């Protein structure tokens, strides 16, 4: 193995900012390229070797000398394992997954990991909704099971505040990337040493990857039968049957999260699927709400054609760019749909399967995010209620198919 191709990567950032998700994404893609990579996670090591309860927030208090000593011991153990992994020739890239929040801790990394280049990757995300959802996923860990959900959330938020008290963003390190981990956008970078595989790593950081994405339209509603738009109608009996058929179809696939809109019809479609999964969370995102049809909300297309002919004709002339009075259009939805997709990918934490249950116009925009379509054709993408779209989008593979259930 080429000694010059070995690399340490140290993650940096406050808790629940996507460090482990990014680390896993890097490892999976590097391994796929034939680059032997392993993650050394401080939290996993702590949970394995320290039998006492470390879920309480005060364990992370910088003034708690016993807690500091234990956490430094774990950090040193991980550094030593990472060093042995590279020096033994077993690996090429060692990823140290921890907060590494202070300058002092990062100086320790520099001192103990000599011999090969060290690249810091700082994950930054201050979206409050995403942070709340990330915390809810974090408290699913076994170390929080003895606490109520409210107690676990309060404890984790207090832990974050302790880390904030010592947190120093990257600035003086020789090699670093500051990553907006929600939008996969590099905010700043400094590379002063030759970094093996850097072009490939950088490409992975800024690219959306989806192993299996299932884009589903909600089941039939009363408004569908009347050809009405918008509203918040519930599923019909047929719509419930469709939801149950979806649940049976996906029963043997592990679906850890279902993203929906805030509308009841998408949540009702998701609930039977959740019921047949061993562990599944429904996360409603407002970004996936159906197009706001403004003054036309809850009207049928026939009523719009008859009573608002100017709206009907203008929309027919350019359906993609037309904006409903006091509402939205396909073009103006794009920014929020793109953000919704970013949130779904972020919160999925590299899950094998991701499911989004949305609406006709919304799902068309989701599909156009992954599959190039001319703008004028997007509002006409076929979006049935008895089929779903399956998407795979990685650097090495693209798949787009419409499947029955």
Alpha-carbon Rg for the chain, nearest whole angstrom, is 24
- Give the C-alpha separation, 327 to 375, whole Å: 19
Q: What is the pLDDT of residues 316-372, one digit of tens each?
A: 999 999 999 999 999 999 999 999 999 999 888 878 899 999 999 999 999 999 887
| pLDDT > 50? residue 60 | yes
Question: What per-residue confidence (pLDDT) applies to 141?
Answer: 74
Report CA-CA distances (Å) from 291 to 232, 298, 321, 359: 12, 12, 13, 8
| Whole-number percent of the chain with pLDDT over 90 | 79
Domains observed in the chain: 3-206 (3.40.50.300), 210-404 (3.40.50.1240)
Q: What is the pLDDT of residues 106-140, one digit of tens each?
A: 999 999 999 999 999 999 998 888 888 888 888 87
What value does the mean pLDDT take over residues 158-174? 96
| pLDDT > 60? residue 2 | no
257: which strand partners? 281
Both structure tokens of 380: 């006409």
Both structure tokens of 108: 């320790």
How large is the angle between the packed helices 360-370 and 330-348, nearest 10 degrees? 70
DSSP 145: T
């Amino acid at each position: 193995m080429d000694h010059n191709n070995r690399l340490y990567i140290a993650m940096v950032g406050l808790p629940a900012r996507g460090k482990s998700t990014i680390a896993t994404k890097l490892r999976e893609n590097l391994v796929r390229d034939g680059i032997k990579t392993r993650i050394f996670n401080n939290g996993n090591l702590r949970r394995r070797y320290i039998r006492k309860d470390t879920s309480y927030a005060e364990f992370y208090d910088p003034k708690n000398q016993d807690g500091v000593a234990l956490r430094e011991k774990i950090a040193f153990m991980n550094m030593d394992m990472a060093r042995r992994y590279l020096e033994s020739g077993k690996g090429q890239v060692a990823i140290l997954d921890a907060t590494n929040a202070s300058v002092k801790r990062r100086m320790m990394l520099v001192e103990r990991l000599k011999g090969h280049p060290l690249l810091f990757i700082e994950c930054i995300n201050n979206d409050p909704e995403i942070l709340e959802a990330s915390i809810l996923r974090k408290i699913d860990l076994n170390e929080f099971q003895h606490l109520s959900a409210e107690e676990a959330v309060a404890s984790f938020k207090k832990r974050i505040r302790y880390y904030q008290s010592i947190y120093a963003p990257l600035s003086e390190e020789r090699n670093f990337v500051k990553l907006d981990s929600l939008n996969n956008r590099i905010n700043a970078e400094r590379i002063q040493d030759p970094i093996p595989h850097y072009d490939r790593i950088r490409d992975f950081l800024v690219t959306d990857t989806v192993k299996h994405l299932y884009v589903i339209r909600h089941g039939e509603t009363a408004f569908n039968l009347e050809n009405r738009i918008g509203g918040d109608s519930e599923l019909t009996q047929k719509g419930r049957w469709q939801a149950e058929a979806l649940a049976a179809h996906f029963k043997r696939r592990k679906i850890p999260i279902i993203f929906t809109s805030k509308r009841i019809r998408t949540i009702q479609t998701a609930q039977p699927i959740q019921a047949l999964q061993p562990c599944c969370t429904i996360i409603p995102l407002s970004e996936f709400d159906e197009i706001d049809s403004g003054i036309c909300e809850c009207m049928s297309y026939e009523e719009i054609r008859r009573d608002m002919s100017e709206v009907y004709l203008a929309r027919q002339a350019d359906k993609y760019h037309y904006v409903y009075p006091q509402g939205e259009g396909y073009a103006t939805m794009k920014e929020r749909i793109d953000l919704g997709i970013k949130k779904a990918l972020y919160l999925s934490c590299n899950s094998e399967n991701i499911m989004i249950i949305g609406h006709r116009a919304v799902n068309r925009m989701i599909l156009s995010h992954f599959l190039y379509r001319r703008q004028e054709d997007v509002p006409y993408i076929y979006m049935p209620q008895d089929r779903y779209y399956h998407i795979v989008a990685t650097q090495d593979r693209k798949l787009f198919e419409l499947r029955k259930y």
